[in-house]
Amino acid sequence: MRINGQHYRTIWLAQDGWRVVVIDQTRLPFRFETVALGSAEQAADAIRNMVVRGAPLIGATAAYGVALAMRVDASDAGLEAALALLGATRPTAVNLRWALERMRRVLASHEPSRRCEAAYREAAAICDEDVALCRAIGEHGLPLIRSLAAGKQAGEPVNILTHCNAGWIATVDWGTALAPVYLAHDAGIPVHVWVDETRPRNQGAGLTAFELGGHGVPHTVIVDNAGGHLMQRGQVDLVIVGTDRTTAQGDVANKIGTYLKALAAHDNGVPFYVALPSPTIDWSIGDGLSGIPIEERAGREVTHAVGLAEDGEVRAVRVVAPGSATANPAFDVTPARLVTALITERGVCAASGEGLAGLFPEIAGGAAA
């Protein structure tokens, strides 16, 4: 995707050929700054502190984190230590575990002296594949938007509501939930996106709005609680969100607040789609409510909001009365029964074991719980 006319992915190698450059998402949309990661520890910190975020990009960064670790210690013990360090950063996005298991499998088949080179190669492959997966999600989601557009008056936009950020900066490029939106916009289909602000970290207000604006997609930022009201008034044609972990039976974990949007969509007959690349499927879990670990983040994300102060600095300000307790579950689980369909790189399917198995028979057959 483009920023100020220049094409970017979210992760790339520095000029030196070994450090890993990422866009610092804690500074967006106010500052466009990049950070060069030079060690597995720095990669782990970037994931933990959400310098990078979004399930696919977390996986890609972790893969490169392993490559950085292999520069220092490519022994079996060094590999296991790096996998453990990176694997402990964020618990919900299963892409992290998927990427690390893939790195372990590939590197275990190499002598330590060959592991560093192999790790960089594999991390680059994960990134390239993610771009292709996301683009394919866009192509499979596009007809859903096109068919809604067909029922509109000429020039009237399809209104799409999204939560959090599942756009190109949450992936290596294109995004998941936003990939169909970009393709629809590029195809000349009028679209308008309702962007949930997504407290506590405001990924919608800060990141989704930044992306959509950069690509010229009409959008309106709304507070998290506005979606149900808009649906009741017929102002939302469909919802598309991303996911951090989808179970083998189609339950979906995504940013906190997604479940409430699914409930409102269900009550109002608004289609609720979830877009995901297959590395986001956890084939080992059936029931998402009992099986998906939900990350609990620091209370400071609730007590404080980050924004651009009037002096031009990016600052945190307190928004909660001092002394109040906080709770900060970062994700919730939307049961499959509330999901109209899943949009994957292989097509659109029912959010169910049968639906997923139909698209991924070679994996589902062996792994589903």
Specify the residue, 28 or 74, whose C-beta has the smaller distance to ligand MRU. Answer: 28
Which one of residues 244, 251, 282, 332 is an interface residue with ligand MRU (CB under 6 A)? 244
Alpha carbon distance 253, 247 (integer Å): 9
Specify the residue, 108 or 289, whose C-beta has the smaller distance to ligand MRU. Answer: 289
Q: Which stretch binds ligand MRU (CB under 6 A): 138-146, 171-179, 228-236, 358-366?
A: 171-179
**Within 74-103, which residues bind ligand MRU (CB under 6 A)?**
93
Specify the residue, 28 or 359, whose C-beta has the smaller distance to ligand MRU. Answer: 28
Which residues, including other chains, have CB under 8 Å from residue 8's CB and lie 6 or more apart? Answer: 1, 2, 23
Backbone angles phi, psi at 53, to 5 degrees: -160, 180
User: Could you say which of 196, 237, 244, 251 is catalytic?
Assistant: 244
Which one of residues 53, 102, 199, 215 is an interface residue with ligand MRU (CB under 6 A)? 53
Which residues, including other chains, have CB under 8 Å from residue 181's CB and lie 6 or more apart? Answer: 145, 160, 162, 191, 193, 212, 217, 240
3-state SS string for 39-71: CHHHHHHHHHCCCCCCHHHHHHHHHHHHHHHHH
* Residue whose beta carbon is closest to ligand MRU: 242
Q: Give SS3 for 2.
A: strand
Supply the minimum distance, in Å, between the C-beta of residue 123 and ligand MRU: 18
The footprint of ligand MRU on this chain (CB under 6 A) covers a number of residues equal to 18
Supply the minimum distance, in Å, between the C-beta of residue 25 and ligand MRU: 8
**Within 199-228, which residues bind ligand MRU (CB under 6 A)?**
203
Q: Is 242 in the site for ligand MRU (CB under 6 A)?
A: yes
Alpha carbon distance 355, 341 (integer Å): 9
352, 358 contact by CB (below 8 A): no
Q: Is 243 in the site for ligand MRU (CB under 6 A)?
A: yes
Our answer to whether residue 287 is catalytic in this structure is: no
Alpha helices in the chain (DSSP H): 40-48, 55-72, 76-87, 94-108, 112-150, 179-186, 203, 209-215, 227-232, 258-268, 288-291, 300-303, 353-359, 361-367
208, 179 contact by CB (below 8 A): no
Q: Which stretch binds ligand MRU (CB under 6 A): 71-79, 138-146, 241-249, 306-314?
A: 241-249
**Within 309-348, which residues bind ligand MRU (CB under 6 A)?**
330
**Within 245-264, which residues bind ligand MRU (CB under 6 A)?**
254-255
Which one of residues 166, 221, 262, 265 is an interface residue with ligand MRU (CB under 6 A)? 166
Write the CA distances from 135 to 139, 181, 347, integer angstroms.
6, 11, 12
Supply the minimum distance, in Å, between the C-beta of residue 332 and ligand MRU: 10
Determine whether 162 is exposed, middle or buried from the number of CB atoms within 10 Å of its CB (0-12, 13-18, 19+). Answer: buried
Centroid of chain to Cα 95: 10
Which one of residues 55, 96, 265, 364 is an interface residue with ligand MRU (CB under 6 A)? 55
Whether the upstream peptide bond of residue 200 has omega within 30° of 0, thus cis, is yes
Specify the residue, 97 or 115, whose C-beta has the smaller distance to ligand MRU. Answer: 97
Which one of residues 159, 171, 202, 247 is an interface residue with ligand MRU (CB under 6 A)? 171
Residue type, 75: S
Which one of residues 158, 170, 195, 274 is an interface residue with ligand MRU (CB under 6 A)? 170
Q: Is 10 in the site for ligand MRU (CB under 6 A)?
A: no
Supply the minimum distance, in Å, between the C-beta of residue 154 and ligand MRU: 32
Q: Give SS3 for 25.
A: coil
Q: What share of the chain is helix, strand, coil (3-state, %, to 5)?
A: 45, 20, 35
**Which residues are catalytically annotated?**
244
Name the residues that contact ligand MRU, by CB under 6 A: 53-56, 93, 164, 166, 170-171, 175-176, 203, 242-244, 254-255, 330
